[in-house]
Structure 1
Amino acid sequence: MGSSEFSWKLADHPKLPKGKTVAVVVLDGWGEANPDKYNCIHVAETPAMDSLKKGAPDRWRLVRAHGTAVGLPTEDDMGNSEVGHNALGAGRIYAQGAKLVDLALASGKIYEGEGFKYIKECFDQGTLHLIGLLSDGGVHSRLDQLQLLLKGASENGAKRIRVHVLTDGRDVLDGSSVGFVETLENDLLKLREKGVDAQIASGGGRMYVTMDRYENDWGVVKRGWDAQVLGEAPHKFQSAVEAVKKLREVPKANDQYLAPFVIVDESGKAVGPIVDGDAVVTFNFRADRMVMLAKALEYEDFDKFDRVRFPKIQYAGMLQYDGELKLPSHYLVSPPEIERTSGEYLVHNGIRTFACSETVKFGHVTFFWNGNRSGYFDPSMEEYVEIPSDAGITFNVKPKMKAVEIAEKARDAILSRKFDQVRVNLPNGDMVGHTGDIEATVVACKAADDAVKIKFFK
């Protein structure tokens, strides 16, 4: 819709008087759940938030930050900071995550994008490797999306394809891996009948191979790297179905913790290690358990484990997994095209805005809030302040982070009377919560509450 076809004019708010500054405070990672000793918000002293809730119970609302409320396909889909701030800033719901992938695959748009063109450059001489969770659970990946991608890639010139499977048993029933591998093998057989050299190259259980998160255990990623890139694993099989069945017979084995394996030919040589000139796609749409592998595949300067070999590949994610790190730099499905965000409406209506957070969430109250758009809409109407995050430490070491500094900047902006909207993000609950350190997260929750107090009660 062109700008001439609609009005930027906003109607006056029925209750908020003109001239009042509106503060939008995102307490990242903050939520409500049953009280217990692991509920850090409940355990922490949070007098400011408690008083806001008790002071206006009729106006206290819970806002959903996952599932269909932020454009994800089902209520089982976990939200994240990026989609949450997209939705908050846009004031509308846009397709995100798996839904975005479904639309791109259904329309064929995925094969016209820059990401696919980038990996396609390798199709003549190299192999296309697909790495991800083999599951129909719909949390991290979906089998039907992989099937469509295999079909589409082969129709668009991929002559040699290797799939590196990660078995699930967490989002789906344990033991279902055998059926998934059989289905995939059947699809690959049909591709081979059409002249495409397509087969499974390696595998392993998701919690033991590749899919670690939050840099908890790089050994998990290394086991995957050894099998997928180096073609080395403690178990070698000529058939993936046989591999999964046999490895499940090991005492206490299950799909989640299946040992890594590689598929070899009759001479015992791995059929699909990743080498120079190959293309690699990680086909999970959910980010949290793909970021670590993305770093290993993309970063020249990498010291988390000895990669032994760092192949010169063209790598793309199904989506971009980390908008802040711009990781990976290439991806098959672009973020949604979000237009006419609240920030743009505000400048068109002469409403002055101030946005502030520390580095780890600064992009969320600016870039993501503004619909994945860098910079100002109108520098004369907006001021963005970034407070540098503590570099080189995990956030549980300094759980108070920069909450006080953010709060003071916001308070000063409010008192300056220069701004009509002041928006900030207090990252403590999210960033410290991700570390899994209970004591530190309790400190973090109190720090966020203290920051709210500085903004409104002092």
Structure 2
Amino acid sequence: MSASVARPVALIILDGWGYREETTANAIALADTPNWDALWATAPRTLLTASGRAVGLPDGQMGNSEVGHLNLGAGRIVMQDLVRITSSIEDGSFFANNELVRACEHARSAGSTLHLLGLLGDGGVHAYDQHLFALLDLVAAQGVSRVALHALLDGRDTPPKSGMEYLRETLAKLDGRAMLGSVSGRYYGMDRDNRWERTGLWYDAAVRGIAPHSTDALESVQHAYDRGITDEFMKPVVMVDPFGMPVAPMRDGDVLICFNYRSDRMRQSLRALAWPDFAGFDTGARPKLHITTMTQYEDSFPFPVAFAPQSMRNLVGETIAAAGLTQLRTAETEKYPHVTFFFNGGMDAPFAGEDRG
């Protein structure tokens, strides 16, 4: 690159825009897109594979927005956290992971509850069920006696009513090893757009035990389905004992392991749990928790991280900055983390000459 370049260059990412020759059920091919058609007909072009091994995912695994921006910003194939964590389970190193073992030791020595928080199912975008099941094996092997799961239902990266079977399978894995503390759709527990009223409903259920009561999680999910509410939008419920008492509210000294590996939709809930001077909603007396996250959710978070970020050099933004050029990253709120954090290889800090709007 030369600092003498006078004309700006734009990298425009159409998130979710793809190519397929067949026109059946192909909204892009069937739509009226004259500008796109003109570019396609007159400009140099090529196609990139956006799923599977081409973007650091397992064979057959669909790509997603985070993965796409991460690979584009790196200019290379980036091994995704899904693959890293799954490989560690397969080779056994997961069960000796320093931060996960320390979290278990803390709960065991304090006699406190170890809470697990994350998305159920095999969607593979934010979380993966085999990681949760491995965590259950780990905490059992570490002798943690009191374990609670706060389950988030997907229905967005999985079929909208698949949560029932995912929950049924998970409950079988919990049997005798852990209890279910709360159930919520991801609409509430994984908001990323500062809609604090949503996060507040999840927080009240999972942390304070304040929400509609349930003694049968599967029945509660079916009740939501009967009212036309799918997994993503299921309102939080708190599991209670036969006397109507919440079975696993979060208390001072408890441990929390967040097993989602994708960062952007976990930040908001963790700010509510632990951020100093948090003012998004009334949290009541927040419990003092020992929190561990599966991956690094934000540079400023002080929590131990089980799988630290991979170090990458010569990213696109870094190369532009090194050439003495300026750059502007801009997107609507929903995609702001993608053109900043993910495009910069999972780093929050901007490069020299990088503005954001």
Unaligned runs of 5+ in 2: 19-26, 332-336
Q: What residue in structure 2 maps to residue 61 of structure 1?
A: 46
Distance 1:311 1:169 in 2: 30
Q: Secondary structure at the match of 2:175?
A: helix
Q: How far apart, CA to CA, are the structure 1 residues paired with 2:189 and 2:348?
A: 32
Give the structure 1 partner of residue 87 of structure 2.
103
From 342, 353, 356, the equivalent of 1:385 is: 353
Aligned to 1:115: 99
Q: 2:176, 2:9 → 1: CA distance?
A: 54
Alignment of 1:186-335 (within 5 A): 186-191=172-177, 198-207=178-187, 209-215=188-194, 217-237=195-215, 239-245=216-222, 247-248=223-224, 250-322=226-298, 325-327=299-301, 329-335=303-309
1:138 to 1:329, Cα distance in 2 relative to 1, 3 A: same
Tell me which of 114, 131, 144 is aligned to 2:117: 131
TM, length-normalised to structure 1: 0.61
* Cα gap change, 1:26 to 1:292, in 2 (>3 Å): farther
| Distance across 1 between alignment mates of 2:293 and 2:56 | 20
> In structure 2, how many angstroms separate the alpha carbons of the residues matched to 1:355 and 1:67?
34
In the comparison of the two structures, how many residue pairs are matched? Answer: 336
Aligned partner of 1:277: which letter?
G
Give the partner amino acid of 1:357.
Q
User: C-alpha deviations, 1:121-180, integer Å up to 9, x for none?
Assistant: 422222111112222222322222211111122213422110011223333334433332
3-state SS in 2 of match to 1:332 = strand
Given candidates 144, 153, 165, the residue that maps to 1:158 is 144
Deviation of 1:317 (Å): 2.3
Of stretches 310-319 and 329-338 in structure 1, the one that deviates more from structure 2 is 329-338
Please give the per-residue CA displacement for 1:243-267, whole angstroms capped at 9, x wherever unaligned. 334x336532333322321111232
CA pair 102-306 structure 1, distance change in 2 beyond 3 A: same
The 2-side partners of 1:271 and 1:177 are apart by 22
| 1:94 and 2:72 correspond | no
Shift of 1:63: 4.6
Offset, 1:203: 0.7
Residues 266 and 331 from structure 1, CA distance in 2 versus in 1: closer, same or farther, beyond 3 angstroms?
A: same
User: How do 1:11-50 residues align onto structure 2 when only pairs under 5 Å count?
Assistant: 27=11, 29-30=13-14
Higher alpha-carbon Rg: 1
Offset at residue 91 of structure 1 (A): 4.5
Secondary structure of the residue that 2:65 maps to in structure 1?
A: coil
**Distance change >3 Å, CA 175–CA 21, structure 1 → 2:** closer
Partner of 2:57: 72
Q: Which amino acid aligns with 1:137?
A: G
Where do residues 421-432 of structure 1 align in structure 2 (5 Å cutoff)? none
Amino acid at match of 2:197: G
1:167 corresponds, among 153, 156, 168, to 153
Q: Hey, what's the Cα distance between the residues in 2 that align with 1:360 and 1:119?
A: 38
Distance 1:172 1:137 in 2: 5
Aligned counterparts of 2:156 and 2:301: Cα–Cα separation in 1: 26
Q: 1:183 aligns with which of 151, 161, 169?
A: 169
Partner Cα separation in structure 2 for residue 54 and residue 180 of structure 1: 42
Instruction: Describe the shift of the 1:321–1:86 C-alpha distance in structure 2 as closer, same or farther (beyond 3 A).
Output: same
Give the Cα separation in 2 of the matches to 1:384 and 1:292.
27
Displacement after TM superposition at 1:27 (Å): 2.5
Distance 1:21 1:107, change over 3 A: farther
Return the alpha-carbon distance in structure 2 between the equivalents of residues 200 and 23 of structure 1.
58
Do the aligned partners of residues 272 and 62 (structure 1) sit closer, same or farther apart at CA in structure 2, a change above 3 Å counting?
A: same
**Residues 253 and 60 (structure 1 numbering): CA distance in 2 closer, same or farther, change over 3 Å?**
closer
CA distance in 2, matches of 1:317, 1:186: 24
| Aligned counterparts, 1:415-426, within 5 A | none
Q: Does 1:353 align with 2:333?
A: no
Unaligned runs of 5+ in 1: 1-15, 192-197, 347-351, 376-382, 390-400, 402-458
Aligned-pair CA distance for 1:302? 1.0
Secondary structure in 1 aligned to 2:309?
A: coil
Rounded to whole Å, the distance in 1 between the matches of 2:339 and 2:225 is: 50
Is the partner of 2:107 in helix, strand or coil? coil
Equivalent position amino acid for 1:101 in 2: I
**Cα separation, 2, equivalents of 1:145 and 1:168:** 16
Shift in alpha-carbon separation, 1:142–1:67, aligned structure 2, 3 A = same
- 1:23 Cα deviation after fit: 10
Contact 1:166 1:203 in 2 (8 A): yes
Alignment root-mean-square deviation, CA: 4.2
Shift of 1:326: 3.9
Q: Which residue of 2 aligns with 1:336?
A: 310
Q: Which has the higher contact order (CA 8 A, sep 6+)?
A: 1
Q: Once the two structures are superposed, what CA deviation does each residue of 1:216-235 show, in whole Å capped at 9, x if it has no partner?
A: x2222111101110011123
Q: Distance in 1 between matches of 2:253 and 2:192?
A: 28
